Amino acid sequence: MPDVTIIDVSPRDGLQNDPKPVSTEEKQQLVRMLVDAGVEKVEVTSFVHPKKVPQMADAKELVHSLAHMEDLEPIVLIPNLKGYERTKELRVSEINWVSAATETFNAKNIGMSIDENMEQFLKVLGEAKQDGIKTCFSVAVSFGCPYEGEVDEEQVLRIVRRVKEAGVDRIGIADTIGIATPDQVERLMSKVLEIAGTTPVTIHLHDTRGLGLANAYMAYRAGVRIFETSASGIGGCPFAPGAAGNLATEDLVYLFERMNISTGIDFEKLLDAADYAAILSSKNPLGRIRHVERKKEKGN
C-alpha cells in the first residue's frame, strides 16, 4: 500500500475554466494516461449547469465513456440535488460536494447560504448512502476568501463538525485562492484531523503564490495522507479572481518519492500525462519538475 493517496483533479478543476474547448475524447485520453500512470482516483468532471461552466457540458457522456476502466475510481463534483440526480445512474465511486467557509463566496459560487447548502447536502448524503455512493464534503476558501479576506479557523471547523456528525465518507479542505502559508496549514489541518477521527481528510492546494509544495509537506506532517492535485498544475477556480493554478501532481509525487514516501505512481508515465494536460490547457501550467526532467532528457 502506498504511504499517500493522490487524487488528480485535472480533467475537472484543471479544465473547467479554460476558454479553449477540450473534446470528450481528449478528456478520456487524459484520464487514461493518469490511470496508466497509477493514479486510481480521478475527479473526472462536474455536473454543473452547462451555461455556468460550458467546459463540463459533456459530463454524462464522459463518465459513461469511462465505465469500462476497471482501475479507475471516478469522482464527480456536484453542486446541488439536481446534479446528484444526473449522476447516480452512472458509474461513479464518489461524489464531491463543495461549500465555502464564507457566506459571500458561497453566494457567488453556488447561489446559496452555507446553511441552505448544508441542508441540500444532507438530503444528497441520505440518498447516496442508499445508492451505495461515497461522499466527500469539501470546504472551499478554508484559508482565505477573495471577498471576505482572512477566514477564521472556527468557520471551517464548524462545518467539519457538522459533516462529520452527518456521516460523510471524506472531508476535503481547500486553499482555493492559494493564500495559505505552511504554519496555517499545519495548524488548521491538525485541528481538522482531530475532529475527523477515522474519517479520511484531503487537502486541495493551489500554487498561486508558489507555496503549494511547502503547504503539502506541512499537511503531511500534520497527518494528512490524501492530496488533490492537477497534472501539470493546470486549472484554478472560475469564481475566485486570480486563483489560477493547482499544485502540480508530478511536483508532489516527485517530492514524496524523493523523501521515500511512496505514492504508487509511475513518475515517467505521470510526466507523459502532465505533458498531455499542458497541451490541452490554453494557460501556462505552473508545474515545475516536468520542465526540469524534460531538459535532462534532451541533454540541456
pLDDT for 245 equals 83
CA distances from 129 to 47, 122, 123, 145 (A): 19, 11, 10, 32
Residues labelled catalytic: 237
Which residues does the chain have with pLDDT short of 50? none
Residue 36 C-alpha cell reads as: 496508466
Separation of alpha carbons 125 and 163, rounded Å:
10
Sign of the dihedral defined by the CA atoms of residues 78, 40, 130, 135, in that order: negative
Q: pTM of the predicted model, to two decimals? A: 0.95
How many structural domains are present in the chain? 1
Nearest to 193 by CA among 220, 230, 228, 155: 220
Rounded to the nearest angstrom, the gap between the alpha carbon of residue 136 and the centroid of all alpha carbons in its chain is 11
pLDDT for 287 equals 85
Angle (CA) 87 93 95, round 5°: 55
pLDDT for 3 equals 98
pLDDT for 299 equals 63
Nearest to 233 by CA among 288, 270, 194, 195: 288
pLDDT 10s digits, 110-141: 899 999 999 999 999 999 999 999 999 999 99
Residue 50's domain comprises 5-298
pLDDT 10s digits, 53-80: 999 999 999 999 999 999 999 999 999 9
Indicate the average pLDDT of the chain.
94
Q: What are phi and psi of 173, to 5 degrees?
A: -120, 125
- CATH label of the domain that carries residue 194: 3.20.20.70
pLDDT for 59 equals 97
pLDDT for 52 equals 87
Nearest to 287 by CA among 270, 263, 266: 270
Separation of alpha carbons 42 and 6, rounded Å:
9
